[in-house]
Structure 1
Amino acid sequence: MDIENRDEFIIKKYQQEEQIMVQLFVQWCTNYQLNPAELYQRAYPGQPQSAVLTDAIDETDTEEMDIDHETLLDVLQMFGNDDLAFVVSEEIEKLPKK
């Protein structure tokens, strides 16, 4: 694999994984009746909403898929979304304890 193809492969792989991260975030928000666009805006005020986020919101299934709070936080942080992870952790604190 030459350098150009390798770089292209790495970029595509990152984009696919980023989409999965955004889908998990949107599904988690849906599970807890939270607005993902609003949480994103709180985390990144003044930044335009991501097209990936908009697509994920449009495509989200209303069926609940169990996503553990810690897993979501870990995934967000793995992608460098520390501000969003902080906002999510604030929302977790507001949720009723099981």
Structure 2
Amino acid sequence: MDIENQDDFIIKKYQQEEQIMVQLFVQWCTNHKLNPAELYQRAYPGQLQSSVLTDTIDQADTEELDIDHETLLDVLQMFGNYDLAFIVSEESEKLSKK
């Protein structure tokens, strides 16, 4: 595999994994009746909403897939989404107090 093909492969692999991260986030929000767009804006107030997030919200499955808080936090942190992980952590604490 030449360098260009290898770079393309790495980029596509990262994008696929990022898509999975976003799907997990949206599903977790849906499971807990939270608005993923609103949580994202709280985490990143100066950014426009990502098209990946918007598309995933539009295509979200209403079937519940159990995603625990810790797994979601680990995945968000693995992708460097520390601000969003912080917001999710805050919401998790609120949910556990209910």
Q: Deviations over 1:33-60 (max 9, x none)?
A: 0000000000000200000000110111
Whether 1:40 and 2:44 are equivalent positions in the alignment is no
- Please state how far the C-alpha of 1:77 moved relative to its aligned partner: 0.1
Q: What percentage of residue pairs aligned between the two structures are identical?
A: 86
TM-score (norm 2): 0.97
Q: Superposed, which structure 2 residues align to 1:73-92 within 5 Å?
A: 73-92=73-92
Give the unaligned 5+ runs of structure 2.
Answer: none
Q: Secondary structure of the residue that 2:47 maps to in structure 1?
A: coil
Structure 1 outlier segments of 4+, above 6 Å: none
TM-score (norm 1): 0.97
2:55: which partner in 1?
55
Q: Distance in 1 between matches of 2:63 and 2:10?
A: 32
Q: Secondary structure of the residue that 1:17 maps to in structure 2?
A: helix
Q: Secondary structure of the residue that 2:65 maps to in structure 1?
A: coil
1:95: which partner in 2?
95
1:54 alignment partner AA: T
Cα RMSD of the aligned pairs, angstroms, is: 1.1
- Please state how far the C-alpha of 1:96 moved relative to its aligned partner: 3.6
2:61 alignment partner AA: D
Give the unaligned 5+ runs of structure 1.
Answer: none
1:88 alignment partner AA: V
Q: Distance in 1 between matches of 2:96 and 2:9?
A: 43
2:66: which partner in 1?
66
Q: How many pairs does the alignment contain?
A: 98
